[in-house]
C-alpha cells in the first residue's frame, strides 16, 4: 500500500506545536487510519462538555467505553481512566465527571494539579463486541526505534498480561520481532504462524473455523512496517521519527482487526549516515606496504608485532619502522619521523600509548602517509578522559576526508591486532611461543571479534581451523563490524564468517544485518555470538513493546531473520565454528539422519535430541543396507543380539571393523542425508587410546576406529559429525580426528544440536 502520510504529518505537526512528543489516543487512531488500518467509532468530549445524543447513536452500540485523554497518563486503567457506561448523554456525562475526580485522586499528591490541568477531555468509543476466545484473543502490534537496528517491529499476544505471558511462553511463541527495513512481503506469514495467538484466531481450532484470515494479519503487519519505515531515523520520506508506537490490543471483529488502545512517541532525531571507508579495508587486509611505530630495540609490544609481521611472510623491504637513531631493525628500514617516510603505506601499525596517538594520526593525515591504521592502544574509551582522545581522532579523520586528502581508515583502538593469511602478516602482540599456529589457513573462514582476547582464545583452542582473516575490532573508533562484512562479502575465498560482538556503533546493527543477508543469500554462512545481554531498563518505556523485545531479543531475531546462526553459548559457538568450517561445501539433500553408537544410552540421547524447532527425521534403512549391517556384525555374533533399526546400537562388543563397516553401510544408503557417529571409547574392543604402556592400543593404527572414520568422512559429501563422549583420556582421539578436519563433539546433544541447525539453515536456503 502506498500513502503520502498526509494525515500523519498533520497530526505530528499539531502535537509538536502543542509542545508534545507523544500522541493522544485519538491522534494514534488518525495515524492508524492513515496507514490503512480500521479504527473504532468514537467521539471526543472536552472537559466540561457533554456529547449529543446523535453523536452517541453514531457509535452503533448500546454501551460505550469512556477513556481519559491526557499526555501525562499513558496506562489509563492503572488510575481509573477507563470505564464502561450506557451510550446515553446523561450516563456519559456522569461517568466523565466521576472519572475526572478518580484520576486526579489516584495521582501522586505532588502531581495532581499538573494531571488535572493536562486532561484534554474524554474519548467515548463504541464498545467493540469482538471474538473473545480467551487466551489469544488480543494481539499486540508495536514498533520502536533501536539505536542499533533502526525501526523494529513487534507482534505477539497482547492485553494487560503481555509481559507475564511473554516471560512464560516458549521463545518465538509469545512475540515475533522483525526489522521494518528488512521484512519482505512474503516473509510476513512465516513470522506470524508460530505465535501463540495465531492458532486460536487464524487457524481451525477444535472444529471452529478461523476467526480471521491469515492474509489480514499479514497485511496489518506490513502496514505497520510501512509506517515504521516511512518514519524511521534514516528515512528521507518524512521529517519525523516514530520513536515508539504500539497498539495493545488489536481484537478481531467480523474478520477484521480493530484497535482498542494506542500510544506513540515521536521526535525529529533524524540520522544522516556517514560514508563508510569500506574500500580502505582492502588496503588493510592485503597491504603492499606496512609502516609501524613504537618498536623498541628490546622486545616490547611493537617489536613482538614487527617479528610477527615478518614471520607471517611479509617482505622486510616493504616494511618501514618509524624509529629515530637506527637505520634498520630486523632487516626493515628505519626513518626518524612520519614526515621522513618515503611513501604512503597501505597499512600503518600504531603501538604507542593512547595519549601519543592523536599526534601521530594528525601527522599521518596531514602528510597523507597511510591508507589504513591498526590502532593497538587501549584505554581510549575505557577511562576518564578517554572519550576526548577518541573524539579528537574522529575529528582528524572527518577533517581529512572532507578535504579530500589521503585519510586512513582505522581499526581499533584497544584492539589486539589483525592476522591476514592472504596479506602475509600478523599484527598480534602475542609472542609466537605463546600462540603457535600453522602458517597456512586451515579453513575458508573469517573471524571478526570485538574482543581480542576472545579471538586468540578460539585460535589457541582450535588451531586447525586457522581462518583466512582474524580481525580484532576493539572499540570500533572508525571501522565497524559491518565494514568488514561488506568488504569480505565480495571475497569468494571466504565461505564462513564467525563473529563475536559486544555492542554496535549507532545504526551499525542494521548495516550488520543487511550484510549478513547479502552473505547468506550467496549460500555462505554467518555464525554470531553476542555478549552483554542484560535487558534494557523498562522504567523509561511508555509501552510493552520494549519490555517484551529487549536489546538481545532484537539482536537475535534480526540476525536470524537475516540468515545468521546465533550461538546461545560459547561452547555452541566453538562447536559451530569447527562444524561449519569443516562441512563447508557439503550439500544438504534432506533431513533424514542416520545415527550409530556402541552404547544404548547414546542412541536414546541422540533420538531425544532430533527435534527442537529445527528438526531431523530418522532415516529408514533400505533392506540391502540392513543386510550389509548384519554381515558386518555377524562375525562377532552381534546380529543375534539386536534388530537393525535407526538409531543403530552396535553394542560394546563391536570392534573397529564391525562398528565402522556398519557405519559405512548406512552412510552409503541413498535414504540417509546426514549422520552422527557417536562413540563411547571406553570399550575394550576399540582402538581409541594413543600407543603407551599398559595396553596394546594405538588409535592411529590402520583399520582402527579413527582411520576408518577419516576414510569414510572423506569418501562422502554428506554432512557427518562425530561424538566422543568420554573424559580427558580420550582427548588425543578427538584431536586426531579434528586434525583431519572432522567436526568432533563431546556430548550427543551438542552433536545433534549442531547438525539440526546446519541442516535446517542450508535446506531453507536452498
Same domain, residue pair 647 and 703: yes
492 part of a folded domain: yes
* 345 grid coordinates: 603505506
618 part of a folded domain: yes
Question: What is the total count of domains within the chain?
Answer: 5
Contact in structure between 530 and 448 (CB atoms under 8 Å): no
Beta strands 525-530 and 496-501: pairing type? parallel
**Residues with pLDDT less than 50, the chain:** 536-549
Same domain, residue pair 70 and 161: no
Domain with 546 in it:
430-585
Same domain, residue pair 746 and 597: yes
Write the DSSP string, 189-205: HHHHTTSHHHHHHTS-B
Same domain, residue pair 107 and 53: yes
186 part of a folded domain: yes
Same domain, residue pair 248 and 338: no
629 part of a folded domain: yes
Same domain, residue pair 166 and 181: yes
Same domain, residue pair 144 and 113: no
Same domain, residue pair 558 and 435: yes
Taking the CB of residue 367, how many other CB atoms lie within 10 A of it? 16
Same domain, residue pair 364 and 450: no
pLDDT at 628: 95
pLDDT at 642: 82
16 part of a folded domain: yes
Taking phi over 0 as left and psi of -120 to 50 as alpha, with beta for the rest, 192 belongs to alpha
425 part of a folded domain: no
In sequence order, the 6+-apart residues with CB closer than 8 A to the CB of 733 are 681, 688, 689, 690, 699, 705, 706, 724
CATH at residue 711: 3.40.50.261
pLDDT at 765: 63
The residue among 208, 241, 272 that closes a domain is 272
Same domain, residue pair 725 and 616: yes
422 part of a folded domain: no
* 469 closest CA partner among 450, 430, 497, 492: 497
Same domain, residue pair 375 and 252: no
The whole-model pTM stands at 0.89
Exposure string over 369-395, b if 16+ CB within 10 A, otherwise e:
bbbbbbbbbbbbbeeeebeebbeebee
Same domain, residue pair 220 and 158: yes
Contact in structure between 348 and 290 (CB atoms under 8 Å): yes
In sequence order, the 6+-apart residues with CB closer than 8 A to the CB of 245 are 28, 31, 142, 143, 144, 227, 228, 262, 263, 264, 265
The residue among 549, 564, 585 that closes a domain is 585
88 part of a folded domain: yes
Based on C-alpha coordinates, what's the Rg of the chain? 32
Q: What residue has cell string 445524543? A: 53
CATH at residue 214: 3.30.470.20
Contact in structure between 155 and 247 (CB atoms under 8 Å): no
The residue among 214, 246, 272 that closes a domain is 272
Contact in structure between 18 and 65 (CB atoms under 8 Å): no
Amino acid at each position: 500500500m502506498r500513502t503520502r502520510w498526509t494525515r500523519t504529518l498533520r497530526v505530528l505537526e499539531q502535537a509538536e506545536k502543542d509542545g508534545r512528543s507523544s500522541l493522544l489516543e485519538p491522534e494514534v487512531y488518525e495515524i492508524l487510519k492513515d496507514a490503512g488500518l480500521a479504527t473504532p467509532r468514537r467521539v471526543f468530549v472536552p472537559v466540561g462538555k457533554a456529547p449529543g445524543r446523535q453523536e452517541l447513536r453514531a457509535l452503533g452500540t448500546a454501551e460505550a467505553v469512556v477513556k481519559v485523554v491526557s499526555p501525562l497518563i499513558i496506562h489509563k486503567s492503572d488510575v481509573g481512566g477507563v470505564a464502561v457506561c450506557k451510550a446515553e448523554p446523561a450516563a456519559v456525562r456522569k461517568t466523565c465527571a466521576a472519572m475526572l475526580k478518580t484520576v486526579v485522586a489516584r495521582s501522586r499528591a505532588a502531581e495532581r494539579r499538573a494531571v488535572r490541568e493536562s486532561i484534554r477531555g474524554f474519548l467515548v468509543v463504541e464498545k467493540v463486541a469482538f471474538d473473545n476466545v480467551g487466551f489469544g484473543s488480543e494481539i499486540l502490534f508495536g514498533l520502536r526505534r533501536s539505536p542499533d537496528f533502526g525501526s523494529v517491529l513487534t507482534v505477539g499476544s497482547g492485553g494487560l498480561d503481555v509481559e507475564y505471558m511473554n516471560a512464560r511462553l516458549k521463545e518465538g511463541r509469545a512475540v515475533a520481532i522483525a526489522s521494518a527495513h528488512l521484512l519482505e512481503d512474503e516473509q510476513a506469514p512465516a513470522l506470524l504462524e508460530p505465535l501463540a495467538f495465531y492458532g486460536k484466531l487464524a487457524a481451525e481450532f477444535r472444529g471452529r473455523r478461523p476467526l480471521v484470515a491469515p492474509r489480514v494479519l499479514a497485511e496489518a503487519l506490513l502496514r505497520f512496517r510501512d509506517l515504521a519505515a516511512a518514519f524511521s531515523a534514516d528515512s528521507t520520506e518524512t521529517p519525523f521519527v516514530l520513536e515508539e508506537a504500539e497498539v495493545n490490543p488489536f481484537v478481531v471483529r467480523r474478520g477484521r482487526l480493530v484497535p482498542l488502545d494506542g500510544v506513540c512517541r515521536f521526535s525529529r532525531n533524524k540520522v544522516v549516515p556517514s560514508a563508510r571507508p569500506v574500500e580502505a579495508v582492502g588496503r588493510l587486509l592485503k597491504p603492499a606496504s606496512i609502516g609501524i611505530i613504537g618498536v623498541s630495540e628490546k622486545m616490547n609490544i611493537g617489536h613482538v608485532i614487527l617479528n610477527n609481521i615478518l614471520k607471517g611472510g611479509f617482505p622486510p623491504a616493504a616494511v618501514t619502522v618509524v624509529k629515530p637513531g637506527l637505520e634498520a631493525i630486523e632487516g626493515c628500514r628505519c626513518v626518524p619521523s612520519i614526515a621522513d617516510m618515503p611513501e604512503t603505506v597501505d597499512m600503518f601499525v600504531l603501538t604507542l600509548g593512547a595519549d601519543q596517538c592523536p599526534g601521530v594520526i594528525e601527522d599521518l593525515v596531514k602528510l597523507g602517509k597511510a591508507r589504513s591504521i591498526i590502532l593497538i592502544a587501549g584505554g581510549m574509551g575505557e577511562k576518564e578522559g578517554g572519550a576526548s582522545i577518541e573524539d579528537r581522532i574522529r575529528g582528524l579523520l572527518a577533517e581529512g576526508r572532507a578535504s579530500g586528502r589521503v585519510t586512513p581508515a582505522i581499526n581499533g583502538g584497544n584492539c589486539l591486532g589483525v592476522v591476514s593469511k592472504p596479506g602475509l602478516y600478523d599484527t598480534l602482540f602475542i609472542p609466537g611461543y605463546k600462540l603457535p599456529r600453522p602458517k597456512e589457513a586451515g579453513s575458508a573462514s573469517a573471524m571478526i571479534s570485538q574482543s581480542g582476547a576472545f579471538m586468540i582464545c578460539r585460535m589457541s583452542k582450535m588451531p586447525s581451523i586457522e581462518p583466512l582473516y582474524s580481525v580484532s575490532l576493539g572499540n570500533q573508533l572508525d571501522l565497524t563490524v559491518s565494514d568488514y562484512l561488506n568488504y569480505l562479502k565480495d571475497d569468494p575465498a571466504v565461505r564462513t564468517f564467525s563473529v563475536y560482538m559486544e555492542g554496535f556503533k549507532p545504526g551499525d546493527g542494521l548495516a550488520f544485518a543487511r550484510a549478513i543477508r547479502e552473505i547468506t543469500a550467496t549460500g555462505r554462512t554467518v555464525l554470531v555470538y553476542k555478549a552483554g545481554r542484560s535487558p534494557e531498563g523498562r522504567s523509561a518505556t511508555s509501552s510493552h513493546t520494549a519490555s517484551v523485545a529487549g536489546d538481545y531479543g532484537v539482536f537475535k531475531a534480526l540476525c536470524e531473520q537475516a540468515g545468521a546462526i546465533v550461538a546461545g553459548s560459547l561452547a555452541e559457538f566453538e562447536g559451530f565454528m569447527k562444524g561449519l568450517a569443516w562441512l563447508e561445501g557439503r550439500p544438504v539433500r534432506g533431513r533424514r539422519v542416520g545415527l550409530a553408537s556402541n552404547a544404548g544410552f547414546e542412541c536414546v540421547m541422540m533420538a531425544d535430541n532430533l527435534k527442537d524447532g529445527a528438526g531431523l527425521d530418522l532415516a529408514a534403512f533400505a533392506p540391502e543396507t540392513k543386510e550389509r549391517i548384519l554381515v558386518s556384525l555377524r562375525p562377532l555374533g552381534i546380529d543375534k543380539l539386536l534388530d537393525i533399526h535407526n538409531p543403530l546400537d552396535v553394542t560394546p562388543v563391536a570392534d573397529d571393523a564391525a562398528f565402522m563397516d556398519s557405519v559405512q553401510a548406512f552412510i552409503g544408503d541413498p535414504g540417509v542425508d546426514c549422520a552422527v557417529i557417536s562413540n563411547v571409547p571406553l570399550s575394550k574392543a576399540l582402538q581409541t587410546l594413543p600407543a603407551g604402556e599398559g595396553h596394546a592400543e594405538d588409535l592411529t593404527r590402520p583399520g582402527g576406529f579413527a582411520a576408518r572414520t577419516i576414510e569414510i568422512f572423506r569418501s562422502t559429501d554428506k554432512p557427518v559429525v562425530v561424538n566422543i563422549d568420554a573424559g580427558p583420556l580420550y582427548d588425543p582421539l578427538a584431536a586426531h580426528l579434528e586434525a583431519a578436519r572432522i567436526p568432533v563433539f563431546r556430548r550427543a546433544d551438542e552433536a545433534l544440536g549442531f547438525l539440526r541447525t546446519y541442516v535446517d539453515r542450508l535446506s531453507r536456503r536452498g
